[in-house]
Chain A
Amino acid sequence: GEDVEQSLFLSVREGDSSVINCTYTDSSSTYLYWYKQEPGAGLQLLTYIFSNMDMKQDQRLTVLLNKKDKHLSLRIADTQTGDSAIYFCAEGKTSYDKVIFGPGTSLSVIP
């Protein structure tokens, strides 16, 4: 079945890079997403990558996709205290299909 897994917690020092890892099971997933949720807030679409891509860079964010291993990662360069949040990895088969979320990784940035 469809499942997305992530480590639950990550703690980094301000200025360091953060790497959040995710694995998924559905090889037919076309869309792979990263959403950010700040305390008490909604889900903000951070970035996404299509399954036919290996990498996508967007300012401080780099997404790497290893389709063979069904492994997705999000790297945040120069992590700031404002990056403290829960980061959800998610997958979708098609543009209109439901999105399956991982449990979220709680990122804590230590000043």
Chain B
Amino acid sequence: EPEVTQTPSHQVTQMGQEVILRCVPISNHLYFYWYRQILGQKVEFLVSFYNNEISEKSEIFDDQFSVERPDGSNFTLKIRSTKLEDSAMYFCASSEGGLGARGTQYFGPGTRLTVL
């Protein structure tokens, strides 16, 4: 069964450094998302992306964050200057879009980001 993959599974970085989290969505999917889950808290929406542009972003997704689909298969989340509070599990998701089952979002296994 096709699945969303994410790399790395765990990233440790120093505060102020840039990180890029990578995702490979399911191949025929058109809608892409990033969510994050701070330890012990709810899964929170960050951003959605369709047709090479951001569709919606949350207030968490400030100027330090950016997303890109550089080559038609990867979908990346960049954090320019990491803060301690960026430590979280970051989930990528994708959806085919459309009606019914085609609209369900499938999540990757997550990247655990630790900012020291």
Q: How many residues of B contact A (CB 8 A)?
A: 30
Q: Check B109–A92 contact: CB distance below 8 A.
A: no
Chain A 96-111 near chain B by CB (<8 Å), digits 1 or 0 = 1111111110000000
Decide if A96 touches B103 in the complex (CB within 8 Å). yes
**B54-91 interface mask toward A, CB cutoff 8 Å, 1 = contact, 0 = none?**
01101000000000000000000000000000000001
Smallest Cβ-Cβ distance to A33: which chain B residue: B104
A102 to B41, CA, bound (A): 10
Q: Is B104 in contact with A31, judged by CB distance below 8 angstroms? A: yes
A96 touches B48 (CB 8 A): yes
B93 smallest CB distance to A (angstroms): 8
Residues of B near A81 (CB, < 8 A) are: none
Q: Mark A37-51, 1 if CB is under 8 A from B, else 0.
A: 000011111001010
**Are B107 and A96 within 8 A (Cβ)?**
no
Closest to B56 in A: A98
A98 engages B98 (CB within 8 Å):
no
Residue in A closest to B45 when the chains form the complex, CB atoms: A98
Residue pair A94, B107 in contact (C-beta under 8 Å): no
- Return 25 A-B CB contacts under 8 Å, by A number: A33-B105, A35-B107, A42-B107, A42-B110, A43-B107, A43-B110, A45-B104, A45-B105, A48-B101, A50-B100, A88-B43, A90-B43, A92-B103, A92-B105, A95-B100, A95-B103, A96-B50, A96-B103, A97-B48, A97-B56, A98-B48, A99-B93, A99-B105, A101-B42, A101-B44
